[in-house]
């Protein structure tokens, strides 16, 4: 959750300007002026011609941000949006205004869940952890999407705070599975001082991003060559040991890995390349401290709705990809699976070999005894 833009306070009087923008979308859109038409849309920025008053570091940040926004716009034009019917989920805002009845409803729901997807967002003004998103994966939909607004919590001695701690006691049991895109411990560690849960977390943590590249290589290779032999151990071991496989020559329905060796996939790219669906990443750098609860947020309605969609769909996308990646599904199986099945807990664990169950140095099950010092 690192800021993409960095400006000195005295640079072209930008501090006031930045403080008035709700999101990266607001910033990059009107930032670069065109004499003939007023403002240049973010996706039409000339990345080779950043504003002259910026220093080298600022220009580099400006160019990188413009590139990200151009890519976001291009993907938006090319692919349909990833969408879940609102009947599939219920959003729960957890802050000092949450009622005890709502918290008890959430706790009762979580008691029967063993799988959860996590994400976090950092406040744009200071990069402080501001929002924790938790999506439940129940036996039957609807799931709950919990939006924990850390900067708007009640005091320690309130019943609501006690209920929140009770919620995390249920979620962070050793039998539970937690999914994330990126290191969950690294993202949650800044919240330890809130005393909402015991540290270290003892649940099983699966970083889907960590294994995505290997799975994608496996799926590309298998897609054309191995047909009905996809789940044999020797196939999986061969793909992992053969680093010279030219993935682009083995599959015609999916594009080759665009990343260099060792690079981690972005969540948007992972969804686009796997199933040709789009999630909007333009709200990544936003003022999350202003809150998403519609009854108490100080954001404009339009901005709040964009940020809300971004926050919940980052969780949804990780959930959508988790089972295919961790259970070594083929592209065809992903395509033929009803989306409902990916958002409900599986009735039985698969006996098929998977990339995550085989030993390798980047095993996604992180040692829960490690106490990270970040």
Which of 207, 235, 256 is at the close of a domain? Answer: 207
In terms of Cβ atoms closer than 10 Å to its own Cβ (0-12, 13-18, 19+), residue 329 is buried
End-to-end alpha carbon distance in the chain: 14
pLDDT at residue 116 in the model: 99
Together in a domain, 168 and 260: no
Does residue 370 belong to any structural domain of this protein?
Answer: no
Together in a domain, 187 and 234: no
pLDDT at residue 373 in the model: 32
Counting the structural domains of the chain, the total is 3
Does residue 351 belong to any structural domain of this protein?
Answer: no
CB 78 within 8 A of CB 58: no
Token couple for 153:
């919590």
Which of 53, 78, 103 is at the close of a domain? Answer: 78
Q: Which residues of 194-204 are buried (b: 16+ CB within 10 A; e: fewer)?
A: bebbebbbebb
d(CA 277, CA 268): 9
Together in a domain, 102 and 188: yes
Together in a domain, 36 and 107: no
Does residue 373 belong to any structural domain of this protein?
Answer: no
CB 40 within 8 A of CB 34: yes
Cis-peptide, bond into residue 200, ω within 30° of zero: yes
Token couple for 276:
């040709």
d(CA 254, CA 248): 8
Together in a domain, 109 and 231: no
Together in a domain, 338 and 213: yes
Together in a domain, 336 and 234: yes
Q: What is the pLDDT along the chain (374 residues), one digit of tens a residue?
A: 444 433 333 343 444 444 445 555 454 444 444 444 445 666 667 778 888 888 988 888 888 888 888 999 999 999 999 999 999 999 999 999 999 999 999 999 999 999 999 999 999 999 999 999 999 999 999 999 999 999 999 999 999 999 999 999 999 999 999 999 999 999 999 999 999 999 999 999 999 999 999 999 999 998 865 444 444 445 455 555 555 554 444 578 899 999 998 899 999 999 999 999 999 999 999 999 999 999 999 999 999 999 999 999 999 999 999 999 999 999 999 999 999 999 999 875 433 445 544 333 333 333 333 233 33
Does residue 92 belong to any structural domain of this protein?
Answer: yes
Enter the pTM of the model. Answer: 0.79
Token couple for 274:
């796997």
d(CA 313, CA 309): 6
Together in a domain, 112 and 174: yes
Does residue 48 belong to any structural domain of this protein?
Answer: yes
Does residue 350 belong to any structural domain of this protein?
Answer: no
Together in a domain, 141 and 243: no
Together in a domain, 49 and 109: no
Helices and strands, number each (H, E), in the chain: 12, 8
d(CA 123, CA 362): 30
Domain that holds residue 301: 209-342
Q: Pick from 177, 121, 176, 172: which is nearest to 149 by CA?
A: 121
Q: Pick from 247, 264, 237: which is nearest to 355 by CA?
A: 237
Q: Pick from 270, 356, 347, 255: which is nearest to 316 by CA?
A: 270
Together in a domain, 214 and 335: yes
Residues near 39 by beta carbon (within 8 Å), at least 6 away in sequence: 29, 30, 32, 33
CB 321 within 8 A of CB 176: no
d(CA 169, CA 164): 9
CB 134 within 8 A of CB 113: no
Q: Pick from 247, 266, 243, 267: which is nearest to 257 by CA?
A: 247
Range list of β-strands (E), 225-295: none
pLDDT at residue 351 in the model: 34
Which of 78, 94, 112 is at the close of a domain? Answer: 78
Does residue 98 belong to any structural domain of this protein?
Answer: yes
Together in a domain, 94 and 172: yes
Name the residue with tokens 């260099």: 260
CB 334 within 8 A of CB 326: no
Does residue 325 belong to any structural domain of this protein?
Answer: yes
């Amino acid at each position: 959750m690192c800021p993409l833009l960095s400006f000195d306070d005295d640079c072209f009087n930008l501090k006031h300007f930045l403080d008035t923008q709700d999101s990266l979308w607001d910033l990059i859109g009107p930032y670069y002026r065109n004499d003939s038409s007023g403002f240049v849309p973010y996706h039409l920025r000339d990345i080779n011609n950043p504003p002259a008053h910026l220093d080298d570091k600022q220009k580099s940040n400006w160019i990188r941000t413009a590139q990200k926004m151009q890519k976001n716009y291009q993907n938006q034009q090319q692919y349909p949006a990833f969408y879940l019917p609102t009947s599939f989920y219920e959003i729960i805002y957890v802050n000092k205004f949450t009622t005890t009845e709502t918290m008890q409803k959430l706790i009762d729901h979580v008691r029967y869940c063993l799988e959860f997807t996590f994400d976090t967002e950092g406040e744009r003004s200071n990069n402080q952890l501001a929002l924790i998103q938790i999506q439940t994966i129940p036996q039957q939909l609807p799931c709950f999407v919990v939006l924990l607004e850390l900067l708007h919590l009640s005091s320690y001695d309130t019943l609501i705070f006690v209920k929140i701690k009770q919620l995390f006691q249920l979620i962070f049991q050793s039998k539970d599975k937690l999914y994330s895109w990126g290191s969950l411990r690294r993202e949650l560690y800044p919240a330890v001082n809130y005393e909402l849960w015991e540290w270290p977390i003892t649940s099983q943590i699966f970083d889907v991003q960590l294994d995505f590249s290997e799975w994608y290589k496996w799926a590309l290779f298998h897609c054309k060559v191995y047909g009905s032999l996809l789940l044999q151990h020797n196939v999986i071991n061969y793909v992992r040991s053969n680093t010279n496989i030219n993935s682009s020559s083995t599959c015609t329905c999916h594009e080759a890995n665009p990343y260099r060796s060792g690079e981690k996939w972005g969540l948007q790219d992972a969804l686009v390349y796997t199933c040709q669906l789009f999630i909007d990443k333009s709200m990544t750098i936003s003022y999350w401290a202003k809150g998403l609860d519609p009854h108490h947020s100080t954001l404009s309605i339009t901005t709040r709705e964009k940020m809300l969609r971004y926050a919940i769909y980052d969780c949804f996308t990780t959930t959508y990809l988790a089972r295919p990646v961790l259970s070594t599904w083929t592209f065809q199986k992903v395509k033929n699976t009803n989306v409902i099945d990916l958002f409900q807990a599986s009735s039985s664990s698969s006996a098929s070999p998977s990339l995550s169950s085989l030993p390798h140095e980047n095993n996604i099950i992180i040692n829960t005894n490690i106490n990270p010092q970040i």
